[in-house]
A and B are shown apart, each in its own frame.
Chain A
């Protein structure tokens, strides 16, 4: 009686590494994008909306950097 032996699985080390690296790169890209978006949101939330000035009910044109936060000196 012939005993069937399982064929040993031949593993190509290059094939196994390929998908892992791609996943890591993808995750890194996602993380980077999320971080960039987060930073942009953080900057935007710090800056707030653009200052508007109205005099007697009429919005007036003022320079862009007309308003600034400053600390006690």
Chain B
């Protein structure tokens, strides 16, 4: 019924685009799998702009697409699209609105003429560069993120005479007057981070109204869906929500983890682990908060994540343990794991917690007195002993991914002998006591 050459589909009145096939027409290269993850996965695809500006990852049946500048440590920007990525005859298709976001190109369909018109960002940039002087500005911002505002019908531009930035719509209507030292377009929220002449930062809506007071030293979007912002003031960090309510007081030395230390864990959001746990450091100790600002444990930890200082080892550092919802923590050079509910699923008694990657598969281990134990089996057995199974059948921690422990399988997909593991856990605990 369907052939492999289908570039477009019309389904329930909406245009869908084949991600792989369209890429060549709009200056992108398409690849299987996820960006930076060396595993072939037919449920994921990413496209890479040939001009090196951006990569976009697409996930089957998901409405979230992840964008990041290639070869940088920038945070991933997750943008929500109206319809999930779908698969037909093994090919991944994205709805027209998703194409616009994923490929930074406009797309329209004229049904009478049966014509699809695409305009790429470089072409838009060229078009409006020629027109920007008519709007009273000297040039369009050279920042790529700001240039993406063109896709959404807005132009971030500056005036040479004042060196100030403002925002106008593509028809020339003023959105933000040209009085800011800097403006940064945030694609995931459709907002602008604005910096005034006193170098204070706030957030403005796309209608020009101020959303978050221009009073902070720095602002970053932590999670656009949850509406959480990381703010910095007087060299301290805190978290506020979109109505500027304080979630975590601005009194912490650091919020979030340097995820470049944990590349094997493939962490998308350094500030909110498993979409639920916010690590915050104060006076050299770490506290764990939920996204409402409540501490999930009263314990203060020396470290969050296990980092092996020995450069010669093949083991990976570990911050999160697969899809178990467990974060590695350490106290006095002993390591354990805390889950999103604040339960200690791995007691803080082990010498190391690490992972090993073999043929694209990452397995997690805990080490005690030179003996390695399977970390996920340990966690599964601990969850069972805590009565997690019934709850997790109803509430999956990671709905987009397979959840091994809910299915009663180990890291290799084998069925778990939970009794044996429970005994193993009991033995380990006994040993450590």
Contacts and interface: CB of A to CB of B under 8 A. Distances in A.
Interface of A: 48-57, 60, 62-63, 65-72
B115 interface: yes
A68 B2 contact: yes
Contacts of A71: 11
Interface stretch (B117-125, B237-245, B399-407): B117-125
B6 A68 contact: yes
Contacts of B5: 63, 65-66
13 contacts: A52-B116, A53-B7, A53-B116, A54-B115, A55-B120, A56-B118, A57-B119, A57-B123, A65-B5, A66-B7, A66-B8, A67-B8, A70-B2
A19 to B, nearest CB: 49
Contacts of B26: 55
Contacts of B119: 55-57
Residue picked from A51, A54, A68, most chain B C-beta under 10 Å: A68
B73 interface: no
Given A67-B10, A70-B88, 11 more contacts: A51-B8, A51-B114, A52-B116, A53-B116, A53-B117, A56-B123, A57-B119, A66-B5, A68-B9, A70-B2, A70-B11
Contact of A65 (B6, B113, B116): B6
**Majority secondary structure, A binding face:** loop
A50 to B, nearest CB: 7
Interface of B: 2-3, 5-12, 25-26, 88, 111, 113-120, 123
Contacts of A48: 111, 114
A32 B113 CA distance: 31
Given A60-B25, A65-B3, A70-B88, A55 B8 contact: no
A54 B119 CA distance: 8
Given A55-B120, A56-B120, A70 B114 contact: no
Given A66-B7, A68-B9, A54 B117 contact: yes
Contacts of A54: 115-118
Nearest to B27: A55
A67 B88 CA distance: 13
B7 A49 contact: no
Contacts of A51: 8, 114-116
B11 A52 contact: no
A55 B25 contact: yes
A51 B5 CA distance: 14
Nearest to B113: A49
B340 to A, nearest CB: 36
Contacts of A49: 113-114
Contacts of B12: 72
A55 B110 CA distance: 14
B132 to A, nearest CB: 19
A55 B11 CA distance: 22
B110 to A, nearest CB: 9
B7 A62 contact: yes
A69 B2 CA distance: 10
Nearest to A52: B115
Contacts of A65: 3, 5-6
